[in-house]
Amino acid sequence: MNGVRHQKWWGWGEEGIAFNHRDKPKLAPFVLDRVGIDLHAPGTPPPALSDIAVPASRLGGDLAAVLRGAVGDGHVVVEDEDRLVHTYGKGLADLVRVRAGDLPRVPDVVVYPADEDQVRAVVDTVVAADAVLIPFGGGSNISGSLTPPAAEERTIVSLDLGRMNRVLEVDEAAGLARVQAGVLGPDMEDQLGARGWTMGHQPDSFRHSTLGGWIATRSSGMQSDKYGDIADITRGLRAVLPGKVVVLRPLPSTSSGPSVREMILGSEGRLGVITEAWVNVHRVPENREIIAYLFPSWAAGMAAMQEIASSDATPSVTRVSDANETQFSLSTQKKSKGIKGKVSKALFAVLERRGWDLGNACLSYIGYEGGKDLVRRNKALVGKIVKKHGGISLGTGPGALYDQKKFDTPYIRDFLLDVGGVADVSETAAPWSRLMDVHSGTVRAAQAAFDEIGVKGFIMCHLSHSYHSGACLYFTFAFPPGTTDADAQLEKYWTVKNAVQQSFMDNAATISHHHGVGTDHARWLADDISEAGTDVMVALLRGVDPGRNLNPGTILPPSREW
């Protein structure tokens, strides 16, 4: 209607695209073995939209009229499917609840402003009406930032930024682009690429997330070692607050007091609506390769990543999977292509020569970008470190495959749900000195949770996003809930998810490295930034939004709402 593409109302990504295991012959046996789920069983597809009872919109006529005046008749939408799409993000709990038609509160209206002036009109209208505003980008959030509070009595307005999707300007002399917040990753890169530029930001959600969403949740992409987190990339921005617009001009660095830029970064809609940003952009690199390596153990792989981080090497991607994730990766290879042949052969040789335990092997991807000389030099530096830690190179073949497939992973959650499996992710960051403990503690915590709920579960992990002082650990867990009842599934899910997050807190790691706080992680906020730090956060949010009109319920634990 207004050209804004949405994800499936019931799951990740575009209609008609799904994860498929049939061309991956080792996956079904692997899943059966590890979590006892039969991928060949008939399964339960998601329900039809007609099976879902979407609560009626509570939008009053007066507010509707003002909103129509603000954004135009065609851009104030109260249809069920549109409101449904704007009710949830794409975390496991979101997927289970939407499939079950569990809809305690649905936005009463979705508005699609065309520009910042219209955003201002909407924000001011919502605050004047004491309604609630939830900004919406690509809808890929997986920490509960998008879901209206179940008990919210006020009118809920979802503000979809999808029409604000243009690269407005490239400052070629400075390597900066001014980009509207509602643009999806591929659309932005297409527009930048046409001018010879790239932002280099590639989160797993890339295809279905927006610049504004990245900023609002402190996103990070797989190439963050080179391009930085979104907090580094975002040099200036505009954000609509009630009655005003914050304008932060692009600056490479500044000492103008507490950073308002860093207050709006990560604000998840609680301070207002980000409408555009000035971001660092780079010339598309001359050369770009991703090389796969194999390490004899997790400890060896981790030690190598740490040594790379403190070396003179400057890779664009650093990533190593633990043994479980390596086994999973190998099981998803297609019949005769890609990593499989090479890995088998290489592993065979390694086994012969060094007596590796293949079950402990850990797959790693390291990315290289830049001039020929830089790429060569970095490969040599990394190669030496890999060798020192007993690793071997598998060449560029598996890396290229990983690079092509890297945005497909989020589809697996829906695929598993179809066949009765629950799967989700939790990620964190900590200093290098803590990462081995974070890993083992979290694996233990998940295992204890699996035992508690009586399931055969699986947890795997990779390190990615290296920094001088630490890195991100990204966990994926899966289990068969043994029930088709949504509430019962979710009870078990939260037992595992919460055990994983609690383990982060117990091991000096953070709530989240790049998924944000939302509602799912809010209960640990004070464990992460201290009770006094939470007080500071409350002072800020309450000072800007005393009426709790802006995405209330996210970031802060319920006890700290005013």
Burial of residue 432 (CB within 10 Å: 0-12, 13-18, 19+) is buried
**Distance set, CA 311 to CA 91, 444, 453 (Å):** 37, 32, 44
Options 227, 365, 474, 493, the catalytic residue: 474
Torsion of CA 470, 302, 411, 37, to 10 degrees: -130
Work out the angle between the directed axes of helices 432-453 and 298-309 (0-180°, nearest 10): 140
Is 247 a residue that touches a copy of itself (CB under 8 A)? yes
C-alpha count within 13 angstroms, C-beta hemisphere, residue 233: 28
Footprint (CB under 8 A) of a copy of itself, residues 307-346: 310, 312, 314
Among the listed ranges 68-76, 104-112, 128-136, 280-288, the one in contact with a copy of itself (CB under 8 A) is 280-288
Per-residue contact track with a copy of itself, 418 to 457, x per CB under 8 A? -----------xxxxxx-----------------------
The reply, when asked if residue 30 is annotated as ligand binding, is: no
Q: Which is nearer to a copy of itself, 99 or 238 (CB)?
A: 238
Is 263 a residue that touches a copy of itself (CB under 8 A)? yes
The reply, when asked if residue 207 is annotated as ligand binding, is: yes
CB of 29 closer than 8 Å to CB of 35? no
Q: Which is nearer to a copy of itself, 297 or 512 (CB)?
A: 512
CB of 514 closer than 8 Å to CB of 217? yes
Footprint (CB under 8 A) of a copy of itself, residues 153-172: 171-172
Footprint (CB under 8 A) of a copy of itself, residues 500-559: 508-517, 521, 525, 528-533, 535-544, 555
Is 268 a residue that touches a copy of itself (CB under 8 A)? yes
User: Quick check: is 365 catalytic?
Assistant: no
Which of 1, 194, 353, 468 is close enough to bind a copy of itself by CB under 8 A? 468
CA gap 21, 276 in Å, rounded: 40
The reply, when asked if residue 217 is annotated as ligand binding, is: yes
User: In angstroms, what is the minimal distance from the CB of 62 to a copy of itself?
Assistant: 28
**Rg, the chain, Cα only:** 23
Q: How many residues bind a copy of itself (CB under 8 A)?
A: 94
**Where are the strands (E) in 96-241, listed by range?**
109-111, 132-136, 156-160, 167-171, 176-180, 197-198, 234-241
Is 122 a residue that touches a copy of itself (CB under 8 A)? no
Is 383 a residue that touches a copy of itself (CB under 8 A)? no
Q: Which is nearer to a copy of itself, 26 or 377 (CB)?
A: 377
Amino acid of residue 195: R
Among the listed ranges 48-56, 246-254, 408-416, 491-499, the one in contact with a copy of itself (CB under 8 A) is 246-254
CA gap 170, 359 in Å, rounded: 49
Is 218 a residue that touches a copy of itself (CB under 8 A)? yes
- Would you state the structure tokens that stand for residue 177, as one six-digit string? 């682009």
User: In angstroms, what is the minimal distance from the CB of 524 to a copy of itself?
Assistant: 9
Footprint (CB under 8 A) of a copy of itself, residues 352-381: 370-371, 373-374, 377
Q: Which is nearer to a copy of itself, 166 or 542 (CB)?
A: 542
CB of 132 closer than 8 Å to CB of 150? no
User: In angstroms, what is the minimal distance from the CB of 425 to a copy of itself?
Assistant: 14
DSSP state of 148: P
CA gap 141, 154 in Å, rounded: 23
Is 258 a residue that touches a copy of itself (CB under 8 A)? yes
CB of 441 closer than 8 Å to CB of 506? yes
The reply, when asked if residue 416 is annotated as ligand binding, is: no
Question: Which active-site residues does the annotation give?
Answer: 474
Bind-site residues for substrate = 413
